[in-house]
Amino acid sequence: MDYAGCLGIYLVMLVTKALNVQLLNPLNKKTAMNHTSFYRVLSLVLLFLVGSFSADAQSTWDNYFEHDTLVDKHLGTVTFHVTKTNRTTKKPLLVYIDGSGNYPLFYRKSSGKYNTSVALNITGYAKDYTIVLISKPGIPFSDSLRYDNGEAYYPSNEIYERAYSLQWRAEAASKAIDYLVKRIPVDMKHIVVMGYSEGSQVAPAVAVLNKKVTHTVCFVGNGLNQLYDFIIEARLEADRNNITAEEGQKIVDSLYNEYAKIYAAPSSVDRKWFGATFLKWSSFSQTTPLENMLKLKIPILYIAGGKDNHQTIIDMDYVKLEFLRKGKTNLTYKVYPNSNHWFQETTTKDGKEIKTDRSDEVNQFAIDWIKAN
């Protein structure tokens, strides 16, 4: 689950507590709620929050990629996956960094179908780009999910817990780029790092590390401190009258208490907050994506969904303002006003609900932007 999903659960827990509803920890599979109806609502919320992008019914992806491994004394083993299509032909390099969570890049569900965290038409764009995916530390390229009482999960492991951080992901991507440009033909004028959700925070960090990167594309990821989004959401809930101002303040005070613990032990992999280590949370909130973006002179594309309940656009809007204030002109900020976190939209016409998926359109906009810049 991504950090925005955790945000939603955190608010539910604290608001419910403020309203004197006895709610046990929803992240603990062994606990239960005293209010059955509330549990059913929360279950639906959780199912929505962990939604992902559909992939092929049968996994052919292992054979679609060549799997490369490098060993680094600081990072350990880094495994990355490169599309096979015309790998001997010089093409632009597109490094795609997916969002948060410990799922494999391609994961098999109980239905037998495979889903993926990669929100990109790989087969369509691999004709013109060499596409690179990078596995998270200790996580395989593809595998089956496990289930506990019908709830899907993927087991964590010590490698993932001790290594997963923004620094690991950024350095792994940078080293993969260096490795590949020495071994396959690459159009050095087009080395693109594209990040989605939490991967959007990693993408500009990669470009700061590696001067070979020529373009950065960031989809629906925060620009400010990741932890600040939780505070924004609490304030918005009070402003919407979903909770009282006093309840909102209790949530914010509680968040600050948790953040103090994280920043006091930023390297801890034994202490956790909402299922993730202090190392993970601190690493993604020490240097903000905005700070890294401002260091760059290369073209940056930053894409937001106006109705994104996982990543508040209020945070993202500030990035454009700061670029204007600094007189920097290398940022393109594109907003899809009616889109959610996955660029899906719901409208009503003649009393009927119409659902539209604009993800392909958004990806094509990004590809066109790369070619134009």
Same domain as 185, residue 90: yes
Tens digit of each residue's pLDDT (9 = 90 or more) over 38-62: 333 433 343 333 344 544 434 678 8
Determine the average pLDDT of the residues in 60-81: 93
DSSP-assigned letter for residue 135: P
pLDDT band for position 180 (cuts 50, 70, 90): very high
Same domain as 106, residue 72: yes
Tens digit of each residue's pLDDT (9 = 90 or more) over 267-323: 999 999 999 999 999 999 999 999 999 999 999 999 999 999 899 999 999 999 999
Same domain as 249, residue 238: yes
Residue 63 above 80 pLDDT?
Answer: yes
Residue 329 above 50 pLDDT?
Answer: yes
Whole-number Å distance between alpha carbons of 233 and 91 = 42
Q: Which residue has the higher pLDDT, 20 or 128?
A: 128
CB-CB neighbours of 96 under 10 Å: 26
Residue 3 above 90 pLDDT?
Answer: no
Does an H or E element contain 271, and which? none
Residue 189 above 60 pLDDT?
Answer: yes
As a whole-number percent, the residues of the chain with pLDDT over 70 amount to 84
Same domain as 159, residue 21: no
Residue pair 6/274 in contact (Cβ under 8 Å)? The answer is: yes
Same domain as 274, residue 199: no
Same domain as 74, residue 45: no
Domain end residue (candidates: 246, 281, 316): 281
Query: Residue 205 has which token pair?
Result: 């960090």
Whole-number Å distance between alpha carbons of 13 and 33 = 11
Same domain as 274, residue 169: no
Same domain as 81, residue 102: yes
State the DSSP string of 72-127. Answer: ETTTEEEEEEEE-TTTTS-EEEEEEE--SSS--SEEE-TTS-EEES--S-HHHHTT
**Full-model pTM:** 0.85
Q: Which of 171, 154, 196 is nearest to 283 (CA)?
A: 171
State the DSSP string of 158-212. Answer: HHHHHH-SHHHHHHHHHHHHHHHHTTS-EEEEEEEEEEETHHHHHHHHHHHH-TT
Same domain as 260, residue 120: no
Determine the average pLDDT of the residues in 9-35: 41
Query: Residue 37 has which token pair?
Result: 């109806």
For residue 60, what pLDDT is reported? 75
Q: How many domains does the chain have?
A: 2
For residue 6, what pLDDT is reported? 53
Domain end residue (candidates: 281, 301, 323): 281
Same domain as 344, residue 306: yes
Determine the average pLDDT of the residues in 233-260: 97
Same domain as 269, residue 143: no
Same domain as 124, residue 29: no
Q: What domain range includes position 107?
A: 53-225+284-372
Tens digit of each residue's pLDDT (9 = 90 or more) over 79-122: 999 999 777 789 999 999 999 999 999 999 999 999 999 999 99
Residue 36 above 50 pLDDT?
Answer: no
**CA angle 127-129-134, nearest 5°?**
120
DSSP, collapsed to helix, strand or coil, labels residue 147 as strand
Residue 35 above 50 pLDDT?
Answer: no
Whole-number Å distance between alpha carbons of 63 and 202 = 27
DSSP-assigned letter for residue 56: -
